[in-house]
Amino acid sequence: MDFPAPTAQIETLPNGLTLILDPSPAAPVVSAQVWVETGSIHEDQLLGTGLSHFLEHMVFKGGGNFGPAELAGTVQGAGGHWNAYTTFERTVYYIDGPASGLDAFLEVLAAMVFHPHLPESEFEKEKDVIRREIDMGLDDPDDRGHRLLFETAYSHDARRQPVIGHRELFDRIQYDDLRRYHATRYTPNRCCLCLAGDFDPALVREKIDTLFGSLPRGMACEPSPPAEPDQLSPRVGRDTFAIPATRLTLAWKTPPAGHPDQPALDLAAAVLGKGRSARLYRALREDRPLALEISAWSWSPASGDGLFAVSAEVLPEKRDELLAGIRRLLADFPDTKLRKDLDKARRQIASAQFKTLATVSGRATDLASNWHQARDLDFTRHYLQELDRVTPDDVRRAIRHLLETPEILVFLDPEDAPAPAAVRTATPAVHEVETFTLPNGATLSLLPDPRVPLISLQAAIRCGAPAETPATAGINRLFAASLPHGTQRHSGAELAGLLESLGASFGASAGNNSVIAQLSGLSGDLATLVPLFGEILGSPALPADAIERERASQLASLREMLEDPLSLAFRELRPLVFGGSGYGLHSLGSEESLAGLDRLTLAAHHSLHVRGPNLALALAGDFDPAEARALLTAAFETLPGGEAWLPAASEIPDPAERVHRLDKKQAVLALGFRGCAALDDDRHALRFLQEWCSDMAGPLFTRIREDLGLAYRVGATQFHGFDTGLFAFYLATDPSQLDLARRELLGEIEKLAHHGIPAEAFERVRATVLSATALDQQSPGSIARHAAVDTLFGLPATHHRELTALYQSITAEQVREVAARLLAPPPCTSLILPE
């Protein structure tokens, strides 16, 4: 049976108003509707406030020559029934009633929609009404479930915001926002006036010209709602509510209306979930009593992604089983016979559409909806014809493609229900850490963590600045840079290609106390990566040409550093604090020392330091401990043993000051104090002091930079060494302000020495330290690095896990005592001044 073609007339008035007239004398009734093409997605900068819905309420407060009581009285006196509603993309006002009242209905619609009074005296009153409506919605499980679905399904699309708005955003709406939104959006070129029923088109046309013809056309500019990016992975949302059963929706994104798959998906939704004979209902409610209620639906908006969904109510204890049943039925759906079910679904959809033609209100809604959706009054008939052309293969293909896309899953659970398996978070296990020592003295630590299929190998080699002399300064940096350039078995190119083919990476760096080498990759490549790591560390090629290239790069970095005032200040500070060797040397070396470093020097350095007693290795990530233990043992047991290299005691020169001139416009001051050794108990208190002195809320920044404007850079830094360390303050300032800035910095240091961290700030500092500690212990790489360095110094491989408790136990008095000892001696001073 064919859906009848429309006989309505459509035209566009000069001001852009679309007019649809559908006269029919079948019954003495009419429906007058104004469709405004604006809804919650068009609120632009006020998106999420519910402004469109609020305006819908306010237009009923009078318009044109009608006060609010007169509007209602006129409609009621003419026998009309009126209402309005707002959706994502439209606001609709309609009056149904006897044909004799049409003139009055048109006058009321013209007045309220296009000439509303919007009385300011009613603004706050109506806001209170909508606040109660918002609260009622939050108390309604259907509304909460709808919100949860759209918030989960859409990450950027404006439809993730509720039409009624968020309470906290709704409260921000100002009266001028309301008037401005009406003036901008309620324009004739964005509206359709649709009339259906018993009327004379010629007479009505004159009335329409009088009431609507002089309305000014609005600007054509439209807001640009946020575009929804492609969904790349499944999404799950959950909330709880005072309901006896779970409300579950499993959904997928679909194309907008007009896409070739839309009719097939609509039919599939009907076959699966429309009525008591639908497949989901029969299989999962009747045959297996899992669902209390279950249905399927498909929604295709005019633009943007739509949804294909299965919705159900289920007792929490059957929730996971029902979800598995839905997925199984959908997976099997394309392989089943469909022809009879599709015929039934077509008749169901056609029947629902035919029913809209039984009333004038339904006919007007169908016509206006067709205009709004497709600018085609015959869209419904064309759509039903498309349904008739859909084959079982079309449906199978559409569902297969749908199931290949990421799903959306939401649960609205009873308040006391346990979380479903899909959102249940397992308590992360703290896996057993194992540390063992090879016969050659190398210490190996295993830190399993199966959360992510990654592994990180870290090796800490005891050397660092104390292993350098003025003649070899920079050797650790050059040695670390040369390690990736091949082994005795693999050239540098072969090594790089092998690592990159595995998605792995190798790197090495030189620090104050060690050279750190790391190799990271996928856990499935453990058996390849561990031997390769042993090969890189145990038999590096150290090719002369690569060393020459790395020397040139290091020399460039050195020259650049010598032109940077702050870096130069610290380079000059080191020998003042530590003398002319060890920590007094800079890791980049000097032009003279770099010129003397060659392959033989680096090979000797490797031979001295890369041996068992100087090596601490750690493996963190997803691996089998037994396999890892065997692989690491085989890879590193052949390294030479012998005696551990131990650094000489650091020098302790008297405090001194050094001035260096540089052709720059700024002045830099660095003040150095002896800090802690790596194992000193005071190091934990010093962590607090450094944080306080480096923080933007700390005394240096607030006093010297913000209050006085004396420095554009100010802070503190530190490192811990084998037997001593450095705690330094620095600032960069205008040379004309250096003396004052220096006095202020020394004054703040004196306050720290006497008072430590103020009581009112101490807990804030603790929170920052704890946060930084937690952030630094997330990845396998950082965990392995902590374990390698700690075991190199004789600490447990799990020492990093103890830091939180240690920091939580530190008191303000401990920090004050450490600050008093540390800052009591006069500092060493490095000054960089303009030439």
- pLDDT digits 0-9 by tens, 394-447: 999 999 999 999 999 999 999 999 988 877 655 555 578 999 999 999 999 999
CB 364 within 8 Å of CB 10? no
Report d(CA 302, CA 379) in Å as an integer: 12
Three-state SS at 538: helix
DSSP state at residue 113:
I
Mean pLDDT of the chain: 94
Orientation angle between helical segments 339-356 and 261-273, nearest 10 degrees: 100
Does the residue 224 lie in any domain? Answer: no
What three-state secondary structure class fits 246?
strand
810 and 713 co-located in one domain:
yes
Contact predicate 822/750, CB 8 Å: no
Range 569-577 average pLDDT: 96
Rounded mean pLDDT, 91-99: 96
Q: Look at residue 425 in the predicted model and tell me its pLDDT.
A: 59
The encoded tokens of residue 715 equal 């802070």
Tell me what pLDDT residue 428 has.
54
Q: Of all helices (H) and strands (E), which one includes residue 659?
A: strand 657-662
Angle ∠(637,643,646) on CA atoms, nearest 5: 120
% pLDDT > 70, the chain: 99
Q: Are residues 746 and 667 in the same domain?
A: yes
CA angle (80, 81, 83) in 5-degree steps: 135
Which among 212, 243, 271 is the end of a domain? 212
CATH code: domain of residue 249: 3.30.830.10
Classify the C-alpha dihedral 117-120-123-126 as positive or negative: negative
User: Residues 498-505: what's their mean pLDDT?
Assistant: 89
CB atoms under 10 Å from CB of 697, counted, come to 12
For the segment 658-664, the average pLDDT, to the nearest whole number, is 93
How many C-beta neighbours within 10 Å does residue 528 have? Answer: 16
Whether 222 is in a domain gets the answer no
- Residue 465 CA to residue 192 CA, distance in Å, equals 80
Written as six digits, the tokens of 466 are 């104390």
Confidence at residue 74, expressed as pLDDT on a 0 to 100 scale = 94
Indicate if the pLDDT at residue 523 is higher than 70.
yes
pLDDT above 90 (res 245): yes
Let me know if residue 306 belongs to a domain. yes
- Note whether 598 and 709 are same-domain residues: no
Position 255 in a domain: yes
Give the domain range for residue 330.
235-414
| Residue 644 covered by a domain | no
**CA dist 563 → 91, 553, 560 (Å):** 66, 16, 5
Report percent pLDDT > 90 for the chain. Answer: 86
Is 762 in the same domain as 823?
Answer: yes
Q: Is the pLDDT of residue 609 over 60?
A: yes
The domain tally of the chain equals 4
pLDDT in tens, 122-131: 999 999 999 9
pLDDT greater than 60 at residue 559: yes
Strands of 217-286 (E only): list them.
235-241, 246-254
pLDDT of residue 756: 94
Helix runs in 722-834, H state only: 738-755, 759-775, 780-792, 799-809, 812-822
The string of DSSP letters for 448-474 reads: E-TTSSEEEEEEEEE-SGGG--TTTTT
Residue 318 and residue 290: Cα distance in Å, rounded?
Answer: 6
Tokens coding 570: 């610290």
How much is the pLDDT for 227? 85
Q: What angle do CA 635, 503, 485 make, to 5 degrees?
A: 60
784 touches 447 (CB < 8 A): yes
Comparing 805 with 430, the larger pLDDT belongs to: 805
Check if the beta carbon of residue 619 is closer than 8 Å to that of residue 632: yes
Task: Indicate the pLDDT class of residue 678, thresholds 50, 70 and 90.
Answer: very high
pLDDT of residue 426: 55
821 plus 747 within the same structural domain:
yes
Question: CA 743, 744, 749, 752: dihedral to nearest 10 degrees?
Answer: 140
How far apart (Å, rounded) are the C-alpha atoms in residues 410 and 239?
A: 8
Together in a domain, 581 and 628: yes
- Asked if residue 645 belongs to a domain, the reply is no
Q: Do residues 493 and 361 both lie within one domain?
A: no
- The first and second tokens of residue 549, run together, are 């290239």
| pLDDT number for residue 450 | 86
Distance CA 824, CA 510 (A): 32
Q: Is 382 helix (H, G, I), strand (E, B) or coil?
A: helix
Cβ burial of 539 (10 Å; 0-12, 13-18, 19+) is middle
DSSP code of 278?
A: S
The reported pLDDT for the residue numbered 419 is: 87
Map residue 266 onto helix, strand or coil: helix
Distance CA 173, CA 43 (A): 11
Residue 779: per-residue pLDDT? 87
Residues β-bridged to residue 252 = 308, 407
Instruction: Report the distance separating Cα 365 and Cα 797, nearest Å.
Output: 72
Confidence of residue 696 (pLDDT cuts 50, 70, 90): confident
Q: Which pLDDT tens digit goes with each residue over 305-322?
A: 999 999 999 999 999 999
> Which residue in 542, 555, 543, 461 sits closest to 509, CA to CA?
461
* Per-residue pLDDT tens over the stretch 760-803: 999 989 988 998 888 788 889 999 999 999 999 999 999 999 99
Kindly indicate the confidence band of residue 1, based on its pLDDT and cuts at 50, 70 and 90.
low
The pLDDT assigned to 427 comes to: 54
CA–CA separation, 713 vs 701, rounded Å?
Answer: 8
Identify whether residues 407 and 444 lie together within a single domain: no
Q: Are 260 and 238 in contact (CB under 8 A)?
A: no
**314 and 246, same domain (yes or no):** yes
Q: Are residues 499 and 410 in the same domain?
A: no
Provide the CA 461 distance to its chain's centre, in angstroms: 38
192 with 250, same domain: the answer is no
User: Is residue 352 scored above 80 in pLDDT?
Assistant: yes
Q: Which whole-number Å values give the CA distances from 717 to 650, 671, 694, in the listed order?
A: 20, 10, 8
| Final residue belonging to a domain, choices 354, 386, 414 | 414
- Mean pLDDT along residues 500-514: 93
pLDDT at 819 over 70: yes
Instruction: Reply yes or no on whether the pLDDT at 117 is more than 90.
Output: yes
Name the amino acid, one letter, at 694.
S
Residue range 112-139: mean pLDDT, rounded: 94
> What's the CA gap between 781 and 145, in Å, rounded?
41
Q: Does residue 715 fall inside a structural domain?
A: yes
- Measured in degrees and rounded to the nearest 5, phi and psi for residue 831 equal -120, 130
Residues 397, 367 share a domain: yes
| Structure confidence at residue 430 (pLDDT) | 57
Within a domain: residue 647?
no
